[in-house]
Amino acid sequence: MVTYSYGMTPASEIKAAVGAQCNGRPYTMELVGEDAQAVMDAVNQGIDSHLEACFFPDLGDSFAWQGNRLHCHVSAESMPVLLRRLSEFDNDTAMGLRSSILDTLEIEEI
Q: Is the separation of the CB atoms in 79 and 15 below 8 Å?
A: yes
Encode pLDDT of 13-33 as tens digits: 999 999 999 999 999 999 999
Mean pLDDT computed over every residue of the chain: 94
Q: Which among 10, 102, 31, 32 has a CA at the least distance from the CA of 73?
A: 31
Reduced to 3 states, what is the DSSP secondary structure of residue 47?
coil
Q: Where are the extended beta strands (E) located within 1-110?
A: 2-4, 27-31, 62-66, 69-74, 107-109
pTM: 0.92
User: What is the structure's pLDDT at 49?
Assistant: 67
Strands 27-31, 69-74: parallel, antiparallel or unpaired by DSSP? antiparallel
What confidence tens digit (pLDDT) does each residue in 34-62 have?
999 999 999 988 776 667 888 889 999 99
